[in-house]
């Protein structure tokens, strides 16, 4: 793992977007693993600027998102499908047929997991997987557990995740389940970029850097991947 510490979230967004620009310009049909949440939004804004300036094109890019809520319509304002379209896809020249999401309403979760795994494989694997981190150390929706997961699966969200995300749903109770890429699917990405900003992430970031690998701290598995870049602002890095 290579950890880089920045002054603030804006500086991270510039550096992260540069990493994407290098990849996209050297491999215009790259496969990107994308993440939702507040953390990646400034990076997506920089990617949109780069696209508008003619510096990058998403025309031949394929994307796989990490996760999607269950029991929510794909077009619901809080779905991750909507989030990605509002924050990136509708603003760049991506080919919608190359945009991939897990179906949170799939009647057969095992079949959906297999479908996603096969689609990732058929695309040639994920070149660069973007990750945020939960205050409980989750990556995607891999919550603290007794064992590391492999391919995508249906997860029961923990109270910590519900406490962090309920704000987006206002008075409507947020979903209790999600379909998420598993730890194995994330770890098979060729390169991983994890971004963490703000003091609330400092404990999880410290645990990630302790070197101990345990499914109780799902992000800790990243210690076993040989190409991980971690971008932190000073607040997230304050316990290192």
Chain residues in the site for ligand PGA (CB under 6 A)? 37-39, 132-134
Complex with ligand PGA: residue 14 or 111, whichever CB lies closer: 14
Complex with ligand PGA: residue 25 or 166, whichever CB lies closer: 166
Is-contact 110 17, C-beta < 8 A? no
Q: Is 203 a catalytic residue?
A: no
- The DSSP bridge pattern shows strands 177-180 and 153-156 to be antiparallel
- Alpha carbon distance 72, 70 (integer Å): 6
C-alpha distance from residue 53 to each of 46, 47, 57 (Å): 10, 10, 10
Q: Is 226 a catalytic residue?
A: no
Alpha carbon of residue 164 to chain centroid: 16
Nearest residue (beta carbon) to ligand PGA: 37
Active-site entry in 87, 136, 142, 165: 136
Complex with ligand PGA: residue 96 or 167, whichever CB lies closer: 167
Alpha carbon of residue 202 to chain centroid: 18
Complex with ligand PGA: residue 116 or 141, whichever CB lies closer: 141
Q: Is 136 a catalytic residue?
A: yes
Q: Is 138 a catalytic residue?
A: yes
Q: Report the nearest approach of ligand PGA to the CB of residue 60 (Å).
A: 28
Is-contact 185 120, C-beta < 8 A? yes
Active-site entry in 138, 142, 165, 233: 138
The catalytic residue positions are 67, 136, 138, 143
């Amino acid at each position: 793992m290579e950890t880089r510490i920045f002054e603030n979230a804006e500086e991270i967004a510039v550096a992260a977007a540069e990493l994407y620009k290098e990849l996209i310009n050297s491999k215009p049909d790259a496969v990107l693993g994308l993440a939702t949440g507040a953390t990646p939004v400034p990076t997506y804004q920089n990617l949109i600027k780069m696209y508008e300036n003619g510096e990058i094109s998403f025309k031949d890019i394929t994307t796989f998102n990490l996760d999607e809520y269950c029991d929510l319509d794909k077009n619901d304002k809080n779905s991750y499908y909507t989030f990605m379209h509002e924050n990136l896809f509708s603003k760049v020249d991506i080919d919608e047929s190359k945009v991939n999401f897990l179906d949170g309403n799939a009647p057969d979760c095992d079949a959906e997991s297999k479908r996603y795994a096969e689609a990732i494989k058929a695309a040639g694997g994920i070149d660069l997987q973007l990750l945020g981190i939960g205050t409980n150390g989750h990556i995607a929706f891999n919550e603290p557990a007794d064992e590391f997961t492999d391919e995508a699966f249906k997860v029961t969200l923990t109270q910590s995740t519900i406490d962090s995300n309920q704000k987006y749903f206002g008075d409507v109770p947020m979903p209790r389940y999600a379909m998420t890429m598993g730890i194995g699917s994330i770890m098979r990405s060729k390169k991983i970029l994890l971004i963490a900003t703000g003091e609330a992430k400092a404990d999880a970031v410290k645990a990630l850097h302790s070197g101990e690998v345990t499914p109780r701290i799902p992000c800790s598995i990243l210690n076993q991947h040989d190409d991980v870049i971690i971008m932190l602002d000073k607040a997230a890095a304050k316990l290192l």
